[in-house]
Amino acid sequence: MSVQYPRERATAGEKPGNEPEEVKLQNASKQIVQNAILQAVRQVSQESQHREERISDSQGRIQLGVGELTKKHEKK
């Protein structure tokens, strides 16, 4: 009586024992995901920086406006 072990299932178009190709695909997939994450992080960082610059500009204009109002009141 011989013991049979379950064979690894090959997906469609894949031959058993084709690990090197599978490893290449897995590595390529990981690299694509890493690149996408890095790109998303850079984009969020840039958007945050632009938002902070706009807020800073707006606050500068408000402070300038307040300074002008103060000068007008001092002249009276």
In a domain, 69, yes or no: no
In a domain, 49, yes or no: yes
- Is the pLDDT score of 74 beyond 70? no
Alpha carbon distance 74, 67 (integer Å): 11
In a domain, 38, yes or no: yes
Total tally of structural domains belonging to the chain: 1
The pLDDT of residue 70: 56
In a domain, 48, yes or no: yes
In a domain, 50, yes or no: yes
Q: Which range of residues forms the domain containing residue 39?
A: 23-57
The pLDDT of residue 58: 74
Residue pLDDT, tens place only, 12-45? 555 555 678 999 999 999 999 999 999 999 999 9
Residue pLDDT, tens place only, 52-68? 888 877 776 666 665 55
